[in-house]
Amino acid sequence: MEQIPVISLNASGLEKQPGFKLTPAVVMRFMAGLALGDALDRMLYRVRPYEMEQGSANKLYARYLEKGRELMKKYSFRGYKQFAKEMVKAFDELPIRDEKKPRVGVVGEILVKFHPGANNHIVDVIEAEGGEAVVPDLTDFLLYCCYDAHFAANTFGRSKVKSFAKQSVAIPFINQYRKPVVDALRVSARFDAPESIEVIAEKASQLLSLGNKMGEGWFLTGEMFELLDSDVPNIACLQPFACLPNHITGRGMIKGLKKRYPHANIMSIDYDAGSSAVNQLNRMKLMLSIAKKQLEVDKSNSGFLPEEKVSLGAKELIRDKARRVKDSVPEAVRAATFVAKEAQAKTCCRGGDDCHCGK
């Protein structure tokens, strides 16, 4: 098949891209389109599980996808900034239901993570089972690849020229084209903006060395940290069969993450041509059933309604919570505790079989 040209997204010269040249104009459109695509997916997954009108989120997504294509034909940075604001505002105003569903983060090997055909449409499965999918951006993976050169130069003695080119040129360049979208998301009412690659690296370094740079490397662990810090306690870690880096920085980090986040509900799922889709579906159902139970427990343990939280002060809130916990203790346990306290204080002397003080 050598006669078929391959377009490969890599900076190491693995493919010569015959008939395809990355000119400055193409690169600018590519970065703007990537940032818009990430934002569209982020907003679609956030509102679709709660839409008032069935299919309205997909229609809005398709409309702005087509508008984005037209923008790329007559691209200008000013038009791109305006389009980002308009797009986020439109998703902010889409009518949705006021309810809370379990949020499930999707991380893992890059192809399995993003390609519906490779992960058996995991986002659709999560939504069909009553959850909300949270998929980190593709742009973050490019930033991770650039950040790696900086660590390699400082730790392994690799080329400082490449490190400077990626750390001081490539990362700011990518962030420049991502900034209009990030700014629009930050001022929105519904959506979270992505975190910087430096913060993700700092979080990942709490659990493993940034020298783990094969495949998704430390970035996979950093994504799980970021999801857990963003109120996404449920995570599906997807991995192809026998993917060694993923088993180390993905599955291998679950125990350490659960020590830091006891509420974390992380499930590793293998995807392979020989793997049963039924087994994958069952693992997803198991994870979501745990997530739903935890959501119910969190609601019941809060002990009060939202309006009560507003009306009570901090001290009253603590006292009220303590009273409710105390009232929930079984009578037998409460009586045994009272008897133990009396015995310790030696103030009993009820006499006969009822005596616990020994007088």
Q: Phi, psi (5° rounding) for residue 285?
A: -65, -40
pLDDT of 159? 67
Give yes or no for a contact between 146 and 156, defined as CB atoms under 8 angstroms apart: no
CATH 1.10.600.10 fits 97-301, yes or no: no
HSE of 139, CA atoms in CB hemisphere, 13 A? 30
Q: Where are the domains of the chain?
A: 97-301, 306-354
Q: Give the bridge partners for 51, in sequence order.
A: 96
Each residue's pLDDT tens digit in the chain (359 positions)? 777 777 776 655 566 666 667 788 888 999 999 999 999 999 999 999 999 999 999 999 999 999 999 999 999 999 999 999 999 999 999 999 999 999 999 999 888 899 988 888 999 999 999 999 999 999 999 899 888 777 777 777 666 666 666 777 888 899 999 999 999 999 998 999 999 998 999 999 999 988 888 888 899 999 999 999 999 999 999 988 778 888 888 888 999 999 999 999 999 888 876 667 888 888 888 889 988 888 887 765 544 334 333 344 445 555 555 555 455 444 544 555 555 555 555 556 666 555 555 55
Structure tokens at 38: 């990430």
pLDDT the model gives residue 278:
84
Residue 183 is predicted with a pLDDT of 94
Please say whether the beta carbons of 72 and 32 come within 8 A.
yes
pLDDT value at residue 16: 66
Q: Give the pLDDT score at 193.
A: 92
Length of the chain: 359
The pTM of the full predicted model, rounded to 2 decimals, is: 0.76
**Are the C-beta atoms of residues 225 and 258 closer than 8 Å to each other?**
no
